[in-house]
Chain A
């Protein structure tokens, strides 16, 4: 107890503030957070370390973190539609002459909803989304060689070698298709939380 109580209340408050400010651009978020932290420190400086009521009063006067976030405009991005579209464009936009994917990338990098980490993820896995995967697979198939065995019973039998060994090939195929879908779902989830 004692000192721990004051620190605990402050920590909880700042954690809640961080959560509410998460959708803001980094610089803006950091400035607000630093100032609020300094405010609490200054407000509590005259208090005894175990003064729980005093700490609560400082935080209460500071106001609800939600109110601070609202003033900062955090969470407003949720209402805009380009961000809602971006994960879909990144996943499927490549099929629209690849243009849709570039639009998705532009939205992704222009929006404060996503952090750098998400932006890199969304861009790199995979370029052109599922269209990129398709391109890769077609290229892979072209490299494999097919030998015709001639007509057997009126049907053309062909045997293809090259490309990838089957179990490994299937695993890679699975990753190639599932990874961009998972990334798109992740981006959408981050957007909803913002």
Chain B
């Protein structure tokens, strides 16, 4: 959780980008919910509590940016694994391009203002 995250611009910014951070976490390999929740929900991370990753995943799945598969686990019940789809990969790439531009535009504006 970001300290002082209840300030409005931060909450809105996070809301806009956190989905893409979930997609990015799936770029290298498929992961299951608990794994994602723990890695993204760590203090200082982007989530407001680990549990909020689940509605995010449900939304990404509905948008067909991720798909799921059940896999057996060695030490418990089967787990639902999430994997990026082709559409999800495209969305992530488009976001990355936009984000890079956005970030340098904001940096420039802040530097020029100072």
Contacts and interface: CB of A to CB of B under 8 A. Distances in A.
Q: Do A and B come from one complex?
A: yes
B25 to A, nearest CB: 15
A102 to B, nearest CB: 29
Contacts, number: 67
Given A36-B51, A61-B49, A41 B80 contact: no
Interface string B36-52: 01000100000111111
Interface in A10-46: 28, 31-32, 34-36, 38-39, 41-43, 45
Most chain A CB within a 10 A radius of its CB, from B54, B56, B79: B54
Interface residues of A, number: 23
Contact of A43 (B34, B49, B55): B34
Contacts of B50: 39, 61-63
Contacts of A194: none
A72 interface: yes
A35 B32 CA distance: 10
Contacts of B77: 38, 41
Interface string B67-82: 0000000011101100
B51 A31 contact: no
B23 to A, nearest CB: 16
A67 B48 CA distance: 7
A28 B59 CA distance: 8
A62 B49 contact: yes
A140 interface: no
Contact of B49 (A34, A38, A64, A72): A64
Contacts of B54: 31-32, 35-36, 39, 68
Interface string A70-114: 011100000000000000000000000000000000000000000
Given A39-B37, A72-B58, A62 B76 contact: no
Most chain B CB within a 10 A radius of its CB, from A28, A35, A43: A35
Contacts of B79: 38
Contacts of B55: 32, 68-69, 71-73
A28 B33 contact: no
B37 A71 contact: no
22 contacts: A32-B54, A32-B55, A32-B58, A36-B54, A41-B76, A42-B34, A42-B76, A45-B75, A45-B76, A61-B41, A61-B49, A62-B50, A62-B51, A63-B41, A63-B47, A63-B50, A63-B52, A67-B48, A67-B52, A68-B49, A71-B55, A72-B58
Given A63-B52, A67-B52, 9 more contacts: A28-B62, A32-B58, A35-B58, A35-B80, A36-B51, A42-B34, A62-B50, A68-B49, A68-B51
Interface of A: 28, 31-32, 34-36, 38-39, 41-43, 45, 61-65, 67-69, 71-73
Interface of B: 33-34, 37, 41, 47-52, 54-58, 61-62, 75-77, 79-80
